[in-house]
Every structure is written in structure tokens, then in C-alpha cells.
Amino acid sequence: MPSPDCFPSTLPEVFSRAAASTRGRGLGMIDGRGRRSELRPWPEVFRAAEAAAGRLAAVGVGAREPVLVGFGNTREFVELWLGAVLRGAWPVAVSPPAGVGSSEVHVRRLDAVLAKLEARRFLCSDAMRREAETHGLAALRDATVTAAELAAEEPVSFEAPRPAPEDVAFLQLTSGSTGVPRAVAISHRGATHNPPAMVDAIAAGDDAFRAAVEKGDAACVSWLPLHHDMGLVGCLLNTILYTEDLWLAAPKTFLGRPHTWLQNLAQTPYALAPAPNFAYQTCVERVTDAQLEGCDLSSWRAAMTGAEMIRPETVAAFNERFEPFGFDPAAFRPCYGLAEGTLAVTFDRRGDGVRTRPVPGEDREVVSVGPPVADTEVRITAPDGTPRAGGEVGEVRVGGPGVFLGYHNDPDETAASLVDGWLVTGDLGFLQEGELHLTGRTKDILIVNGQNLMPHELEWVAESVTGGGGTSRAGAFSIPGAGGERAVVVVETGESDGGRLGELEREVKVRIGRALSIPLADCVFVRRGKLPKTTSGKVQRLELRRRYLEGDLERVEAGVS
């Protein structure tokens, strides 16, 4: 497998190579019922992207300026995002409206992003423009350019910029829980180094997969949103760099019909697919034997898992559920990354599946997410940056070519997150035998009765009572009280019987008290889908706390039959 340094160091060079490929690999779409449509070879995709670049120039999009792209997992998004890079602009992938009557909060957040980035153009659907008009967001509305309007433009010629590896390639929005998302500036070096660094890690444990990648025989099947770094870098840029097939579905297709993801993986030789923990739990809960009749999952060679804390019990349940259909537990490849690292920071290289270790000084185990990817270093430090001894829990800091250039138009946040060239991730963990093990986040720590607790510790206990963890989640946070901070858990449920909810509430409180030695101030039940989440499925704990304190939660009352 060639090292990451053997590949082109800028995205236009990568695109030029893919545009000249004769392998016949390309982009295919999966519809809402899980059916595949025609695969368009990468040269055809890039001809459309080059035309899009000329049309963007025609509507006034210049080099080195942000341009928002909001078409979801569609061919339009891919062609326009790639076209913006070819134009020399900085594409900013944003989530599209969920449908008619999309959330006002979402649209207003996009308006705030537009203003913060000083962007002049927003490539989007007619529906998004109507949302902007409905909510009186004149600046957002006036910035919009619809697909039909862009298609009507005649492409104009322009002088294509020749970026250096250290120049900005694109901006990636964070999936933070509150406020205006920050725009992570990713360099061309980071964008071209990260995908092969990931594949190098996967191939280290699978010679057959290595050979398949080198011949272009591997393929990715994904529903991950392209406005998220795992979908954009881990799937789109990865398959372009290796000129492999990418079969792309919409996130709502997976959420509505999770079995279609597995069905498509079963018909893909040397398949790879990343997903957060909740996706694997969703498959355990909702995919039936009848839906997988005739499916052989042995072709799924790399089931990457990351983007949120990896739960060993989810992995064990997935293995037990789908081994009869040929799934190999060794295919699980735990990894860790974040937008500020382009994507991957560490990646399992052993190919032995999910492995755990006890947290030093605690009675719990966490998953190994592997050693750092190529040319990358991870340090564990005290809050002041002083190195921690091996095996001690501390803050995770990252150095390497994937580390971002800073937050666009946000020097204060940049200074706080980039210290002496090192990325301060906000994550907690420890290193053991060169492998990283994550234990939580610095900003999420709850201090209750003098104890430092991570929210997911409470959430996992609550979900173990209610049977959640997939489509039904829990969120934990603390609130001020007379004697100090008090813990609250909000749990999604499909239960409607008041008496049964009362029993579940008591059980959640008892188990959290026994497991963590703290009293639970409140246990609130809400309907499935009512917890605020990021685009990658993480619970937005700060937003949840705000809604709780302001009385905005739609509670399902317990205790009354």
C-alpha cells in the first residue's frame, strides 16, 4: 500500500487523476427503498463538476471565499461541492431542510453561519429559499442560488488557482451542541493525507483488502450525511482518491429502513462502511431475519465505528445478531477522529475487532480506538499541557498533517484549540501500548456530590433499563441546586402506559444510585426523536439542558395509568 505521501498533495491534483481514470468506478445512488440506480464513472462526475465550477464563476463565486452547499446526499451536492473546490472557492457543506416546515431554529442557524463566514452565496433547493422567506431572513434568501438557476447559467472560463498543500481546501462545520457552528479550515495537505492514512490502517490487518484497494475493487456503502466529516472525508474523498465505487443513500433511508444498508453491503465485494455506535444498535433492534434472507455479510471487510463513544455491549449484540449472516466480528474497526483533525486521528490496525481495557483507577472498561494514523502523534496531558505518564487519564492533544488551520473568522476559538501547533481536542483518554482509549470529554464532566462523572455513564445505565441506545437515546446533564450540582437524565421512550413509566423511572434512579453512588434529581421521559442531536447522532446535552431549564421539553408523564 503506498504511503500517504505518495499521493497528490492538493485536491485539484486528486480530482484530475480521478477524472482521467479508466477503471469504470464511480458514484452510484441508493433510493429510499434501498434500490441502486446507475453508477456514473468518476470521469463523468468530474466533467459535471468542471461545468459547475464554470457556472459558479458565472454567478460571481470567486476564489478563496466560502460558499454554502446544502443539497444533502445527492449527485447535485457532490458535483457542486467538487465544482466549488475546482473554482478555488471554499465549499461549506450544510444540512438541507428536513422537509416542508423545516425547523426555524435550523434555518436561523444557517443565517447566522452565513453572516459569521461572510459568505455571499448559498447553493440550495427551492425549499430552503422558501424557508428563508417564511422566516423573514432576507440575507439568507438573497444569498440563495437554486439548482435550476445554476443549471441555466452558461459556464464561463476562469483561471484555475494552483493551491499549495498548506492552503485552505474547504471549510467543515462543527456539529456542536449550541450556538453558531464553527467553520473548521481544512488544508489540502490534510484532505489528501487523511483518507490514505485511514486505508493504510485498515489494510495493515487484511492483505486481501489491501490488494482490492490497489486494484479499485473495494467499495464504500454509506448513508452518512455528506455535511458531516465522516461522510465527506471518510466516504466521498476516500473513494475519489482511490477511484473506487461509492454507493450513497440518504440518512433518512437508513433511519426508515436500516436493513437496506446491510442488504447493499451484502452485494458489495470488499465493502467498507463507517457508522456511529447508534447505527449498529439500530440494526440490532430493527432488522429482521426475513429482511436479510439470502444476504451474506462476509463481504463487509471494514465496519468502522466512531463519531461517538463505542459501547462494547452494542458491538457484542451486533456480532451475535449478524454472525449467522456471515458478518465477521473482526471486521469492526474502532477509530477516533474529529473535524479539527480533518477526520481520522487514531485507527485500529490489528483487525481483531473491538477490544477493551479497564480505565485506570475505575471499575469500567472502554474500547481501544487504535494507535495514531500515519505521521500523526497523540499526547495525553494535564489541563496546562504538562505530559501525563503512560496509562494516566488526561486531555487528548493531536499533532500531524491532519490538524486544522484554525476556525474561519474566529481567532479566539482558534487560539484556545491550537496551542503551540497542537490540537486541544477537549476529549479525555489514556494511552496503553501505543493505543488510545477514550474516557469522556472535558466540557461534559458533571460534578455531583464531589464526584467527577461523565454524562454517558448515567446515559448508559438509563438506556440499560429502558432498552434504548439505538433509536431511543438518553441525555444526562447537571443543574444547580441548593447543595451543589444535581444530575438529571432525559430518556426517549416508546412506552405510553403511565404506570409502567413510573416503574421505569424508579428503576433508573435505583440503578444509577447503585452504580454511581449519586442521587438522581430528575428522570424525564420524552417521545422517540425528541432529544436534540447533532448530524452524527450525538445527543446535544447543552441544548437539552437549556430546554429542561426553560420548560420546553415535551414530557411523557410517568406514574398515571
pLDDT, tens only, 473-517: 899 998 887 656 889 999 999 888 888 999 999 999 998 888 787
Query: Which cell numbers hold the place of 23?
Result: 477503471
**What per-residue confidence (pLDDT) applies to 177?**
43
Distance of CA 557 to the CA centre of its chain: 33
pTM for the structure as a whole: 0.85
What is the DSSP-derived secondary structure letter of residue 372? B
Burial class (CB in 10 A: 0-12, 13-18, 19+), 496: exposed
- 10 band by pLDDT with thresholds 50, 70 and 90: very high
Spatial separation of the C-alpha atoms in residues 76 and 291, rounded to whole Å: 31
Q: Identify the CATH number of the domain defined by range 41-186.
A: 3.40.50.980
Amino acid at 212: A
- 11 band by pLDDT with thresholds 50, 70 and 90: very high
**What per-residue confidence (pLDDT) applies to 120?**
97
Q: Where are the alpha helices (DSSP H) in 432-497?
A: 455-466
Mean pLDDT, the chain, rounded, equals 91
Domains in the chain: boundaries: 41-186, 445-549
Cβ density class 340-379: b for 16+ within 10 Å, e for less = bbbbbbbbbbebebbbeeebeeeeeebbbbbbbbbebebe
- 100 band by pLDDT with thresholds 50, 70 and 90: very low
Q: Are 447 and 458 in contact (CB under 8 A)?
A: no
Q: Identify the CATH number of the domain defined by range 445-549.
A: 3.30.300.30
Query: Which cell numbers hold the place of 110?
Result: 444557517
In the predicted structure, residue 180 carries a pLDDT above the cut 90 = no
Spatial separation of the C-alpha atoms in residues 233 and 366, rounded to whole Å: 26
**What per-residue confidence (pLDDT) applies to 481?**
73
Spatial separation of the C-alpha atoms in residues 102 and 127, rounded to whole Å: 9
**What per-residue confidence (pLDDT) applies to 498?**
87
Neighbours of 481 (CB within 10 A): 11
